[in-house]
A and B are shown apart, each in its own frame.
Chain A
Amino acid sequence: GENVEQHPSTLSVQEGDSAVIKCTYSDSASNYFPWYKQELGKRPQLIIDIRSNVGEKKDQRIAVTLNKTAKHFSLHITETQPEDSAVYFCAVLHMEYGNKLVFGAGTILRVKS
């Protein structure tokens, strides 16, 4: 069935350091990979997304890389700040299972100042 593995489940970094979160998926037909940030008690919000026709996308301190052959993609946050502390979810649009956006289990990121 649909499967999106997200690692690590928790990540603690020092302010200014980089953070990397990785997701793997099973459906080789998948072509859309967004990342969402959810602060405590708030709604998930899209922070960046990538489509299968590109390997990397950047937006200021955030970047996403995609390896379609290996079926994994990663979120990179550079120069982390305390306000980056949140739960981050990757998601995969599974074409094989009825065009559904399936979310990973989430990564709790703590940025220590």
Chain B
Amino acid sequence: DAGVIQSPRHEVTEMGQEVTLRCKPISGHDYLFWYRQTMMRGLELLIYFNNNVPIDDSGMPEDRFSAKMPNASFSTLKIQPSEPRDSAVYFCASSQGIDYGYTFGSGTRLTVV
């Protein structure tokens, strides 16, 4: 298996633009997580899905953020409109269960200028 695949690896965008991050989890993993990593706040859970259904989105910063999982092999995290404070590394991870090890993707480094 190629692991968790995220795209793009880097994204530079202007404030106000829409940004879409993509993730392909490991086949057979029922859980998918979106985390954000910054120096100030560390690794924060934004949202997670179980069998394509959003379970907990309490970590989503505000209405500008939305996430979807239309099928078991694809998820997106969208920011619209983007702001400079959204600059961070966004990781997608997948797992066989909520209490199993998570496999992280390589992350998307987002810079909003």
How many Å from the CB of A42 to the closest CB on chain B? Answer: 8
By beta carbon, the residue of chain B nearest A47 is: B101
Measured in the bound complex, the distance between the Cα atoms of B101 and A51 in whole Å is 12
A46 in contact with B91 given A89-B43, A98-B56, A102-B45 (CB within 8 Å): no
Q: Chain A interface secondary structure, helix, strand, loop or mixed? A: strand
Which bucket holds chain A's interface residue count? 20 to 34
A86 interface residue per 8 A CB criterion = no
Determine if B99 and A51 form an interchain contact, defined as CB atoms under 8 angstroms apart: yes
How many Å from the CB of A29 to the closest CB on chain B? Answer: 12
Contact of B106 among A43, A51, A101 (CB under 8 A): A43
Measured in the bound complex, the distance between the Cα atoms of B97 and A31 in whole Å is 13
Which bucket holds chain B's interface residue count? 10 to 19
Contact of B58 among A43, A45, A98 (CB under 8 A): A98
How many Å from the CB of A78 to the closest CB on chain B? Answer: 22
Determine if B101 and A49 form an interchain contact, defined as CB atoms under 8 angstroms apart: yes
Measured in the bound complex, the distance between the Cα atoms of B4 and A46 in whole Å is 14
How many Å from the CB of B26 to the closest CB on chain A? Answer: 13
User: Which residues from chain B sit less than 8 Å from chain A, CB to CB?
Assistant: 33, 42-43, 45, 48, 55-56, 58-59, 91, 98-99, 101-107
User: Please, could you name 24 A-B residue pairs with CB atoms under 8 Å apart, sorted by A?
Assistant: A32-B99, A34-B102, A42-B106, A43-B105, A43-B107, A44-B91, A44-B104, A51-B99, A89-B42, A89-B43, A93-B98, A98-B55, A98-B56, A98-B58, A99-B55, A99-B98, A100-B56, A100-B59, A101-B33, A101-B45, A101-B98, A101-B102, A102-B45, A106-B42
User: Which residues from chain A sit less than 8 Å from chain B, CB to CB?
Assistant: 31-32, 34, 42-46, 49, 51, 89, 93, 98-106
